[in-house]
Structures are given as C-alpha cells and as structure tokens.
C-alpha cells in the first residue's frame, strides 16, 4: 500500500501553513484520517502541508468562560487533560472512546473535524457543546459555529486554503454532559454516538454522530426535552445511514436507546 506521489512540506507557523495551503494541497496533522484514505488511493492531494509541529496549534487553556483547545491537540492530550476533565468532562470522555491508544496518540481534534467523517466522535461532541471552530485563511481568522461547520458527508464549511487553529468551547458551572457510544465492532467508529450537554437550568443540547450522513444537532429532540416532553423520534428529517452493521431502522432504534442512556447519565 502506497499513496500516490505528493510533495511534503512542513510548516513551522500558522502563517506559513496558510501560505503553503494557498499553493494547493491538504493540511496534514496527525494524519490518522488522511493517510489511510491516501493509502487506499481514495484521496490524492498534490501536496501535504505538515502542521504537526506548529506550536500555536498545541495547548489547552481557559479563556474566560471558554475552553480553548489547540487544533493540533491529540485525542490523548484531550482525554488526559486535567483541565478538560474538570471543565468539560464530555470531551475527555469522548476522546477516550476514539480509535485505539496508538490512534489517540497521533490523531488530532483539528484533523478529525476537517475530515468530517460522519461516524467520527468529535462531530457530535463539538455540536452538543456548542463549540466554535476557529480557522485561519489567507484573509485572516474567522470563527465558524459548529452547527454551521458540518455541511454533509465528509464536507465542511472549511475552505481548501484554510486551517483549523483552535476549538473554543463554552463551559458553564453546574452543567452535566456525557457521550454514549455504540461502536461499530470492526472499525470502532460510532454506529451511534450521542452527546448531551445539560445546563444547570436543565436545558439540553443533543447531537449525534454515526446516525446520519452528516453529524447533527437533533433540534426536534431538544425542543421536546426542553419543553418538558418526551424526547420523541430521533433523527427526524435526517438522511439516516444504512450499512452492513445497522439498517436505517435499527440505527434509529439504537439512537433512541443511546439518547435515553445519555439522558440517564446526566439526570
């Protein structure tokens, strides 16, 4: 297995990465979504811009009421972070469910979000947490609300010449959150991943990975729950996936079960 030939470039700063991306190619962070797809020759960029060593992309810190996670943070960085565990346990819990230890040590939150696999775990997590994806491009920085970020199957609002630099996540005292995942037994991606954040006032935000061909916030379910009713059907209006491991019917059923389990976990 070998990728098509490409040119490897290493960026040492965000500015340099952005100027390299302007010439074409794709950003390479941990590479754990991109390299496998390139080996299977499903993806064939002319160039890879390695952003794996850019110091600005690392680090996890608080900025006011927001947790700020550098896009180059690995899943393991986030799963192991005391700060994340304290302020947003959802992210630590969710990150610990991704792949296997070796994948978690290399794969990054930014890379996973940019790849936008509908069965990846991060999409549901950032959606439920109301995170903002901060990106830098030739025209400077812009912030994309997570609800606007995922635009379809493997597609996002990120432009080819932009780089995800950080993820800003509001955290509030007294909130509870959980990520409940039913893993596809071979790949360990989410057949259903349900992330819930419940504010101190009881209002919930609910998001799913693995269910639809794009990750989504289930606004119908949220509306029902937030007005004191039963959750109602999951994934209304979504294009539900069906594959070897779960038919559409079973997936919707699993999503409902996992929603209930998530609600119990934050009760």
Partner 1 sequence: MSNRYIGESIKRREDKRFITGKGRYTDDIVLPGMLHAHFVRSPYAHARVVGIDLEEAKAMPGVIAIYTGDDVAAINGVPCGWQVNFRNGETMREPKHPMLIPTGSTAKHVGDAVAVVIAETKDSAIDAAELVMVEWEELPAVAAPADAILPDAPKVHEQFPDNKAFDWTFGNPIEEVDAAMEKAAHITELEFINQRVVPNAMEPRAYIGSYDETSDKYTLYTSTQNPHLIRLLMCAFVLGIPEHKVRVVGPDVGGGFGSKIYHYTEEALVTWASKQIGQPVKWTSDRSEAFLTDAHGRDHATKAEMGFDADGNIVGLRIKTVANMGAYLSTFAPAVPTYLHGTLLQGLYTTPKINIDMTCVFTHTVAVDAYRGAGRPEATYLLERLMDLAALEMGRDPAELRFQNFIPPFDGVEQPGYQTQVALQYDSGNYEAVLKRGLEMLGYENFRAEQAEAAKTNKILGVGFSTYVEACGIAPSAVVGALGARAGLFESAQVRVQPTGKVSVFTGSHSHGQGHETTFVQVVADKLGIPMDDVDLVHGDSDTIAFGMGTYGSRSLAVGGSAIVKSIDKILEKGAKIAAHKLECAEGDLEYAEGKWTVKGTDKSIGFGDVALTAYVPHVYPAGLEPGLDFSSFYDPANFTYPFGCHIAVVEVDKETGKVTLKRMIAVDDVGNVINPMIVDGQIHGGLAQGIGQALFEGTIYDENGQLTNGSYMDYCMPRADDLPMFETDRQVTPCPHNPLGVKGAGEAGAIGSTPAVVNAVIDALWSAGHKPKDILMPLTSERVWEAMN
Partner 2 sequence: MQVEINVNGKARKAEVEDRTLLVYFLRDTLQLTGTHVGCDTSSCGACTVHLDGVAVKSCTLLAAQADGCSVTTIEGMAKDGEMHPLQEGFRECHGLQCGYCTPGMIMTAADLLKRTPKPSETEIRFALEGNICRCTGYHNIVKAIQWAAENTAAPMLADSHLWTNDVVVEKVVETE
The residues that touch partner 1, with contacts defined as CB under 8 A, are 1-2, 4-5, 40-41, 182, 185-187, 244-247, 250, 253-254, 257
Handedness of CA 54, 135, 208, 227 (dihedral sign): positive
Which one among 63, 186, 228, 230 touches partner 2, defined by CB under 8 A? 186
Min. distance of Cβ 32 from partner 2 in angstroms?
A: 6
Any bridge partners for residue 141, and if so which? 136
Identity of the residue, 141 or 264, whose beta carbon is nearer to partner 1 in the bound complex: 264
**Helix, strand or coil, per DSSP, at residue 187:** coil
**Helix, strand or coil, per DSSP, at residue 65:** coil
Q: How far apart are CA 113 and CA 146, in angstroms?
A: 10
Residue 50 interacts with which of partner 2, partner 1, none, CB < 5 to 8 Å by class: partner 2
Rule CB under 8 A: say whether 181 interacts with partner 2.
no
What phi, psi does 20 have (nearest 5°)?
A: -70, -40
Q: Are the C-beta atoms of 190 and 183 separated by less than 8 Å?
A: yes
Residue 246 interacts with which of partner 1, partner 2, none, CB < 5 to 8 Å by class: partner 1
Q: What is the DSSP letter of 32?
A: T
**In 38-148, at which residue ranges do the beta strands (DSSP E only) sit?**
47-50, 60-63, 66-70, 132-137, 140-145
Residue 20 interacts with which of partner 2, partner 1, none, CB < 5 to 8 Å by class: none
Min. distance of Cβ 262 from partner 1 in angstroms?
A: 13
Residues of the shown chain interacting with partner 2 in the complex, contacts defined by CB under 8 A: 1-8, 10, 28, 31-32, 35-36, 39-40, 48, 50, 52, 99-103, 105-106, 186-188
């Amino acid at each position: 297995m070998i990728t098509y030939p490409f040119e490897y470039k290493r960026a040492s700063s965000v500015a340099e990465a952005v100027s390299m991306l302007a010439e074409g190619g794709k950003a390479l962070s941990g590479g754990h979504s991109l390299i496998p797809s390139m080996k299977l020759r499903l993806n064939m960029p002319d160039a890879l811009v390695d952003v794996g060593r850019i110091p600005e992309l690392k680090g996890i810190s608080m900025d006011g009421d927001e947790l700020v996670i550098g896009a180059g943070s690995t899943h393991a960085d986030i799963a192991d972070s005391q700060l994340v565990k304290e302020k947003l346990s959802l992210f630590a819990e969710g990150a610990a469910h991704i792949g296997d230890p070796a994948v978690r040590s290399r794969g990054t939150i930014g890379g996973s979000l940019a790849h936008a696999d509908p069965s990846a775990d991060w999409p549901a997590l950032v959606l439920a947490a109301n995170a903002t994806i901060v990106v830098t491009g030739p025209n400077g920085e812009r912030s994309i609300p997570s609800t606007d970020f995922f635009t379809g199957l493997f597609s996002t609002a990120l432009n080819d010449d932009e780089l995800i630099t950080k993820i800003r996540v509001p955290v509030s005292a007294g909130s509870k959150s959980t990520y409940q995942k039913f893993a596809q037994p071979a790949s360990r991606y989410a057949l259903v991943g349900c992330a819930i954040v419940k504010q101190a006032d009881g209002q919930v935000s609910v998001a799913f990975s693995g269910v639809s061909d794009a990750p989504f916030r289930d606004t119908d379910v949220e509306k029902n729950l937030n007005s004191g009713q039963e959750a109602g059907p999951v994934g209304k209006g979504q294009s539900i996936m069906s594959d070897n491991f779960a038919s559409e019917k079973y997936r919707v059923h699993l999503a409902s079960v996992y929603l209930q389990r998530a609600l119990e976990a934050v009760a």
